[in-house]
Amino acid sequence: MTASDISESEWVIMETLWDHAPRTASEVAQAVRETTGWADNTVRTLLTRLAAKGAVESRRNTPGVREFLPTVQREACVKEESRSFLKRVFRGSAKPLLAHFAENARLSPNEVQELKRLLDESLRQTPSPTDTTNQPKTPILP
């Protein structure tokens, strides 16, 4: 199962479970009802799909009611979804994504500073092509 296998509607369910799990189908439905308007049966259908994909698992609690919990971490799904988006929309290149983002997003000065810090940190972590400190040494043969 990859994050790109999770639909937009299923993502709403996953967010609810990542926020608090385990939850029953009724608890999930109650948590999303105000923002989505979904009926209990819609939520149950989405939970069934997510279980079939391996994104959630269910178990019976003490009274015998089925509870659902995520089997994948949110960060792993975000990372995979980001890779998929970058590949699909920007042909795998981060530069056009960042340029588009910088030109179209309304960032506060604090957000701009944080992004600069993250880019600078990324530069420090990426070895230059001439840097041989982390490359394996070729053994000298007699």
Residues 25-72 pLDDT 10s: 999 999 999 999 999 999 999 999 999 999 999 999 889 999 999 999
Whole-number pLDDT of residue 119? 86
Cα separation of 77 and 56, whole Å? 13
**Structure confidence by residue, pLDDT tens digits, 69-82:** 999 999 999 999 88
Query: In what order do the strands lie in the sheet containing 56-60?
Result: 23-24, 66-70, 56-60
Instruction: List, in order, residues 6 or more apart from 21 with CB less than 8 Å away.
Output: 67, 68, 69, 70
Where along the chain do its domains lie? Answer: 3-70, 93-124
Non-local CB neighbours of 4 within 8 Å, separated by 6+ positions? 80, 81, 84
Class of domain 3-70: mainly alpha
Mean pLDDT of 94-114: 86
Confidence category of residue 123, pLDDT binned at 50, 70, 90? confident
Residue 140's pLDDT is: 52
State the pLDDT at residue 71.
Answer: 96
Q: Decide: 70 and 18 in contact? Cβ < 8 Å.
A: yes
CA-to-CA separations, 32 to 12, 27, 117, in angstroms, rounded: 8, 9, 36
Task: Give the confidence band of 139 by pLDDT, cuts at 50, 70, 90.
Answer: very low
**Residue predicted with more confidence, 22 or 116:** 22
Q: Give me the percent of the chain exceeding a pLDDT of 90.
A: 52
